[in-house]
Amino acid sequence: MANGPVDLVFDKFTPHHVPATLHHYCSTETFMAIVAGKSIRLSALSMSNDSEEGRLVLRLTEKLGQANRTAPAVIASLEAHWNEVMAANEGLGFCLSERGDLLSQWRGYAAQGRGVSLGKR
């Protein structure tokens, strides 16, 4: 049960909601680079084919504002400021999925199904 606005927003991230395994879809070339370098590189979020990548802060701002009954104009101002920050600075990320065999992920991230899905517990 949420005790405040932050708990309300982040309640879905509590341990009982954390998946046992997360998967990263990639091409075989990227897989080989991960294995050879024993590391994973972050990618520019602007290069993602998912327009929602990097937008979590905006959604959280709106939810927190609504939970605190913040004036819509204040929320809009915060969102506008955050959009300016995002436009001026490149965000980096590493995409993960809860599902290890999802057609849209194979098509979008794993070389049209010719790549791999790496699972990590």
Confidence of residue 28 (pLDDT cuts 50, 70, 90): very high
Predicted pLDDT of residue 1: 46
Residue with tokens 């606005």: 5
pLDDT digits (tens, 9 = 90+) for 33-54: 999 999 998 888 877 777 777 6
pLDDT digits (tens, 9 = 90+) for 55-113: 777 888 888 888 888 899 998 998 898 888 888 888 888 888 889 999 999 998 899 99
Asked whether the beta carbons of 91 and 45 are under 8 A apart, the reply is yes
Q: Taking the alpha carbons of 121, 99, 115, 26 in that order, is the dihedral positive or negative?
A: negative
Q: What is the pTM of this model?
A: 0.64
